[in-house]
Amino acid sequence: MLLTNEPVNSLSDARRIIAWYECRWVVEEYHKAIETGCQIENLQFADESRLEPMIALLSVVAITLLNLRDASRRADAHTTPASTLVAQEYVDALSLWRHGEIRADWSLTDFFLALARLGGHQNRKGDKPPGWLVLWRGWTALQLLAAGARAERRRNKLG
């Protein structure tokens, strides 16, 4: 039974409200990503004008991680290239960190598991799936890896 304050006078009304309710779980997971992973409640900005841009930026990161996590659970995650969801520079940097070589053909599963490992997840057979905090730590570390790779490319161009 679903309790609602919306009028339900027809089957199409009921379907519409059920569709709204089904979206609730995505919203709940987004909030977990932004609160637990991005730790948005721990920001120490004293002024709202400073806080709002940070929340906007972290919201994009939370959605990226949510999309990545959900995509890694799909049946085709083992065959879908990671570069369909994340920038190729991230795939290159993470695969170089994980294997000592760039593997441009990494799947979403490969990328997701390596990102979780970078964040501290052991990826053992009996381990639970990585949580938001682990994914956030992995994403933060990946930003440093990618920045280092960009700096190395610039250094090589300069000579």
- 156: tokens are 């090589």
Cα distances (angstroms) measured from residue 142 to each of 35, 45, 120: 20, 25, 12
For the chain, 159 residues long, give each residue's pLDDT as a single digit of tens. Answer: 778 888 899 999 999 988 888 878 878 888 888 888 777 777 787 788 888 888 888 888 889 999 999 999 999 999 999 999 999 999 999 999 999 999 989 999 999 999 999 999 998 889 999 998 899 999 999 999 999 999 988 888 886
Residue type for 85, please? L
To 10 degrees, the CA torsion angle through 62, 87, 134, 68?
60
pLDDT value at residue 159: 67
Long-range CB contacts (within 8 A, 24+) of 145-149: 145/93, 145/94, 145/96, 145/97, 145/118, 146/89, 146/90, 146/93, 148/93, 149/89, 149/92, 149/93, 149/96
- 52: tokens are 């709002």
Number of H helices, E strands in the chain: 5, 0
Cβ-based neighbours of 139, under 8 Å, separated by 6 or more? 61, 64, 65, 115, 119
Q: Which residue ranges form the domains of the chain, and what is each CATH number?
A: 11-158 (1.10.740.10)
pLDDT value at residue 41: 79
